Amino acid sequence: MSQSPLKLVQVPEAELRRLLESRGETLEGFLGKATATIKAGVEYQKRAGTAYWSILWLGASTLFSLLCFLSDHAIEDLLSTLLLGGMTFVETRVRKWFLEGDARAAIYGYWNQTLFAVLFLIYGGYHFIHTEVPRELAETLGSQYDSLYGEMSMITYAVIGLVGGTCQYALALYYRRAGKFLPSSQPPPLP
């Protein structure tokens, strides 16, 4: 059984007002809800576009981590690959939910990006504290550059952690604010 396409029909304002009042609604309230629904759709579409780019970034990072793991077999690269792969999967769900107007997108997107922000801080902080001069570099340049390399590495990892963490958390807040645009079904409160 196929459904026929919807047809738009003009309804005189007085008739619409009477129909709405019989249901306990006002015309202004009805139009306000319709406007809010349209705004929610626009805001969710914007966030779906943002999630698309986030998926590309996460996917490229996952692939890079996997290549590093395959060439080096370092546990750090394996953990990065698994975490980034999982986050990429969740981000694809978040994008799908934004496209569908599902309230879960705002909550899951928030927590996924918050996790990414925390991982940036952990990664930058760990390498800030545990800076090592690669043996090949020390042999090539000589030990007189060890302290310079250490200082530059500390600055680099501090910037990676702070800037990466801040930017990802800003994205998390952008996702979370999407929940306020849903007029009838509010997303569950954050813990």
Q: Are 99 and 121 in contact (CB under 8 A)?
A: no
CA pair distance 43, 158, nearest whole angstrom: 34
Q: Across residues 173-179, what is the average pLDDT?
A: 87
- This prediction has a pTM of 0.69
CA pair distance 21, 82, nearest whole angstrom: 56
Domain boundaries, the chain: 42-181
**Length in residues, the chain:** 191
Q: Across residues 119-134, what is the average pLDDT?
A: 87
How high is the pLDDT of residue 139?
74
Give 144: exposed, middle or buried? Use CB within 10 Å, 0-12, 13-18, 19+.
exposed
Q: Are 173 and 50 in contact (CB under 8 A)?
A: no
CA pair distance 49, 44, nearest whole angstrom: 9
Which tens digit of pLDDT belongs to each residue from 52-77?
A: 999 999 999 999 999 999 998 989 88
DSSP 3-state assignment of 185? coil
Residue 37 has pLDDT above 60, yes or no: no
